[in-house]
Amino acid sequence: MSDTDSPIISIRPDPEREQRKGVPEVIFGEAKETGQIISMARGLLAGSGRAIISLVRTEAVEALRAAFQEDTVCIREAARMVVIYRPGYVRRSTGGHVGVISAGTSDIPMAEEAALIAEEMGCRVTCIYDVGVAGLHRLMEPLRNLLDDGVDAIVVAAGMDGALPSVVAGLVPVPVIGLPTSIGYGIGGRGVAALLSMLQTCAPGLSVVNIDNGVGAGITAALIANRVAQARTPFQETER
C-alpha cells in the first residue's frame, strides 16, 4: 500500500480567477504550516507578483521575512495579515472608496482585514473605529464627512449585540456590508447574536457575511466600489 495506490487527478487552482473576478486569492494562514504557506505564497508571487496571507500566526512572520528577503514583506499586525510584493509590483489604484467602521476595540482585527483587502483591490479606505452604540450622536459627524468624501460602500464590523450596522444602514444612502465578529459570551455568544440581529435588520441596504469573515466583507465592498469607480472613469476599464 502506498499513496500511489489510487490514481489521483488534481484539478489545479484556477489561474484566471483574479483576472476574471478582479479578486486576488488569499492564503488563510491559520491552520497551515509555515512551509505550506511559503510554498503557496511563492506560487502566487510567480503568478501575480503579490501574495496576501491572512490569519498569520506570530511565529510564521519571521519565517516569511527570511524566505522572501528579495521581496517586500509588509506586516499589518492589527489585521493579522502579511502582504508580499515582487520588486517592481505596482498596486493599481481604482478610485473606489470604501469605509470601514468598527463598534468596539475587539472588532478591529476583522475590520482591518476588510480594510487591507479593499486596499489591495485598489480602493481608497477610510476607517472609523471604536464607535459604541451609546456614543451614536458622536458618530454623526465622521459619517457625514465620509459621505461627503464620496464613499461607495461601507463595511460595519460589530460583535456582541450587533446593533451598529443597522444604525449605520439607517443613516447612509450607500450599500452597507454587516460583518459580525466572534465577540460575545454566554447565549448568542461567538458572534451568533450579532449575525442574527443583522439579518433581522429593519434598515434597508444591509447585507451580511459570516462571522469574522473580514476578507469576504472587504471583497464585497471593494467589488462595489471598483464597479462604481470604473463607471466614473471609463478609460481605466482596459487596466482590468
Pick one of 109, 157, 160, 214: the residue that binds a second copy (CB under 8 A). 160
Tell me: does residue 7 bind a second copy (CB under 8 A).
Answer: yes
At 22, the amino acid letter reads G
Interaction of residue 71 with a second copy, rule CB under 8 A: no
61 lines the binding site for a second copy (CB under 8 A): no
Question: Which one of 41-49, 63-71, 167-175 is the stretch in contact with a second copy (CB under 8 A)?
Answer: 167-175
Shortest Cβ 10–a second copy spacing (Å): 5
Kindly state whether residue 229 participates in binding a second copy, applying the rule CB under 8 A. Answer: yes
Among 87, 185, 235, 238, binds a second copy (CB under 8 A): 185
DSSP letter assigned to residue 81: E
Choose one: 41-49, 62-70, 77-85; the region binding a second copy (CB under 8 A): 77-85
Residue 57 region, left (φ>0) first, then alpha (ψ -120 to 50), else beta? beta
Cβ partners under 8 Å of residue 85, min gap 6: 49, 50, 71, 72, 74, 91
Q: Using the rule CB under 8 A, is 43 a contact of a second copy?
A: no
* Residues in the chain, total: 240
Q: Distance (Å, rounded) from C-alpha 145 to C-alpha 133?
A: 19
96 in Cβ contact with 111 (< 8 Å): no
Q: Is 44 among the residues that bind a second copy (CB under 8 A)? A: no
Stretch that binds a second copy, among 16-24, 41-49, 56-64 (CB under 8 A): 16-24
CA–CA distance, 56 with 112 (Å, rounded to integer): 13
Q: Does 53 bind a second copy (CB under 8 A)?
A: no
Contact by Cβ (8 Å): 219, 122 = no
Q: Going by DSSP bridges, is the β-strand pair 26-28/206-208 parallel, antiparallel, or unpaired?
A: unpaired
235 is a contact residue toward a second copy (CB under 8 A): no
Does 216 help bind a second copy (rule: CB under 8 A)?
yes
Q: Which stretch binds a second copy (CB under 8 A): 17-25, 41-49, 60-68?
A: 17-25
